[in-house]
């Protein structure tokens, strides 16, 4: 209709009060195109990225937040418990491929959340990521979202052959499935952090519903060695984790990160069942799942750790040519 602002224009940074051509250009150069993108960063960080004074960045963030609430794209500041329940219901779930594991997770891997799978080598973390990258593409009635995936592969273990096999055994066209998985291979944490900044654009461009980061914590541990660099590492890890949480919430995608356990015999107090990353990772992730091997070579045991929404429990799943499945499936 003439004279009315289109929905997309309401989401563009240039539609905010006080954003002229120059400010809009600065924001765009920093990868901030929409008011949703503005919600990803703190005003201090926006100021660092763009050169806009912090006070102005603060005003822009607040204005963007009000706009998102008006448009129904952000929850109100205060809400009744029943409204919160409604928003939770809007959460969608991607099937892991195993009913047992889905049940443990109350439906599968959730959008608007960061789910961490951690465990020792060979416990199935990479296989879960591969299976989810295929399953997200299934239609909703089959446990998918009918959307694409982004796979950030920090360990060089992403395998198109394995995707082909899993897709084939689930009745999907492997070539179509491969086309809808966008793979990033960062060589170091600087590139990894930079890739995270590009995620919003990629999510929109490729209609993405699932993001895997395999492994997420490993690169930080590898690069920031020793006690002397611990606080620097934790600071970066903190920003990384918070960016992921915001992206999951703002863009309604399911984010899965993988992590290893502290299995260093030289560290006396290293608990072999504890994930790496300390409080920073523990506080940021929405759900943590601990994976263990079992006596049967293709079976794995998953336990949910410290979840406010899930009773403690375990699930047994299998890894086969189909990817993740139930035992005897």
User: With CB cut-offs between 5 and 8 Å by kind, which of Mg ion, ligand GTP, none does residue 124 bind?
Assistant: ligand GTP
Minimum CB separation of residue 300 from Mg ion in Å reads 13
Binding site for ligand GTP (CB under 6 A): 119, 121-127, 162, 260, 298, 319-321
16-24, 126-134, 143-151, 227-235 -> range binding Mg ion (CB under 5 A): 126-134
Residue from 15, 36, 100, 126 binding Mg ion (CB under 5 A): 126
Phi first, then psi, for residue 313 (nearest 5°) are -170, 170
User: Quick one: 188 or 294, whose CB is closer to ligand GTP?
Assistant: 294
45-53, 67-75, 122-130, 314-322 -> range binding Mg ion (CB under 5 A): 122-130
User: Quick one: 111 or 320, whose CB is closer to Mg ion?
Assistant: 320
In sequence order, the β-bridge partners of residue 258 are 117
| Pick from 143, 161, 105, 152: nearest CA to 291 | 105
Cβ atoms of 290 and 303 within 8 Å: the answer is yes
The owner of tokens 């994976």 is 291
Minimum CB separation of residue 147 from Mg ion in Å reads 23
User: Quick one: 107 or 218, whose CB is closer to Mg ion?
Assistant: 218
Cβ atoms of 314 and 301 within 8 Å: the answer is yes
DSSP-based three-state secondary structure for 253: coil
Q: What's the rounded Cα separation, in Å, for the pair 191 and 4? A: 41
| Pick from 179, 142, 183, 153: nearest CA to 164 | 179
Cβ atoms of 188 and 154 within 8 Å: the answer is no
User: Quick one: 74 or 132, whose CB is closer to ligand GTP?
Assistant: 132
**Residue 33 makes contact with Mg ion by CB under 5 A:** no
User: Quick one: 36 or 320, whose CB is closer to ligand GTP?
Assistant: 320
Residues in contact with Mg ion by the rule CB under 5 A: 125-126
């Amino acid at each position: 209709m003439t004279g009315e602002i289109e929905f997309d224009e309401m989401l563009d940074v240039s539609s905010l009060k006080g954003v002229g051509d120059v400010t809009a250009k600065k924001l765009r150069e920093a990868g901030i195109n929409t008011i949703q993108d503005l919600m990803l960063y703190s005003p201090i960080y926006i100021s660092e990225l763009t050169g806009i004074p912090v006070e102005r960045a603060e005003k822009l963030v607040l204005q963007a937040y009000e706009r998102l609430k008006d448009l129904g794209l952000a929850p109100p500041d205060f809400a009744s418990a029943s409204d919160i329940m409604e928003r939770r219901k809007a959460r969608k779930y991607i099937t892991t491929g195993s009913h047992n594991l889905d049940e443990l997770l109350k439906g599968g891997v959730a959008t608007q959340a960061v789910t961490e799978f951690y465990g020792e080598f060979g416990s199935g973390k990479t296989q879960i990521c591969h299976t989810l990258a295929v399953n997200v593409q299934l239609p909703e009635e089959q446990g998918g979202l009918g959307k694409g995936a982004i796979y950030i592969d920090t360990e060089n273990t992403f395998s198109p052959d394995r995707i082909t096999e899993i897709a084939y055994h689930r009745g999907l066209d492997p070539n179509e499935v491969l086309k809808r998985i966008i793979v990033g291979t960062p060589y170091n944490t600087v590139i990894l952090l930079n890739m995270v900044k590009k995620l919003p654009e990629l999510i929109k461009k490729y209609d993405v519903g699932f993001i895997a980061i395999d492994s997420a914590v490993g690169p930080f541990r590898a690069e920031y060695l020793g006690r002397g660099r611990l606080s620097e590492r934790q600071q970066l890890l903190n920003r990384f984790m918070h960016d992921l949480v915001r992206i999951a919430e703002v863009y309604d995608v399911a984010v899965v990160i993988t992590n290893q356990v502290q299995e260093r015999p030289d560290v006396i107090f290293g608990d072999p069942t504890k994930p790496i990353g300390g409080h920073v990772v523990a506080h940021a992730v929405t759900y943590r799942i601990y994976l263990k091997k079992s006596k049967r070579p293709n079976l794995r045991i998953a336990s949910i750790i410290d979840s406010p929404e899930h009773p403690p429990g375990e699930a047994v799943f299998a890894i086969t040519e189909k990817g993740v499945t139930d035992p005897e499936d």
